[in-house]
Amino acid sequence: MNAEISTPTSTPTAELTQRLSSTPRGARLARHLTAQQLHTWGFPHGSDLNDTAQHVVAELAANAVTHGRVPGRDFELRLSLLPAEDTLRIEVSDARGDRELRFAAADPDGDGGRGLVLVTLLAAAWGVTQRAVGKTVWAELPLKEPE
């Protein structure tokens, strides 16, 4: 896990917060909402940021509904544009705080377990914040391409 702790130092200029059912359908909807919201913010479908954000949200939302699910409880998606920091901050919160995140796949030939590896490769920084109920897994993506 990326041990770097990051807290936004500027106020977001735009933010989306949405609670979704802790189901595969909710995870798919989180990805679609991300694509549409980024398009609305000026990062069109097919752009690098939009595609990367969709991948990160898909992985974090899939983890939330697969490993962070508590029956009867939703998960929450939050997207924050932080132009002062040239950052898109993605947060996915679930109601389960008693399970630690597994970074590596237990079975290298298995079908799953690579989500956080992908997040590590795609995000500039990521981490976990414990909450009173559950946890928030966050990732930050640069708004600009590296020069």
pLDDT in tens, 58-91: 999 999 998 777 777 899 999 999 988 899 999 9
> Minimum mean pLDDT among 6-10, 77-81, 94-98, 124-128: which range?
6-10
Eight-state DSSP code of residue 136: E
**To the nearest whole percent, how much of the chain has pLDDT over 90?**
61
CB 93 within 8 A of CB 131: yes
CA distance 94 to 127: 14
Rounded to two decimals, the pTM is: 0.82
CB 24 within 8 A of CB 77: no
Eight-state DSSP code of residue 83: G
Mean pLDDT over residues 107-121, rounded?
71
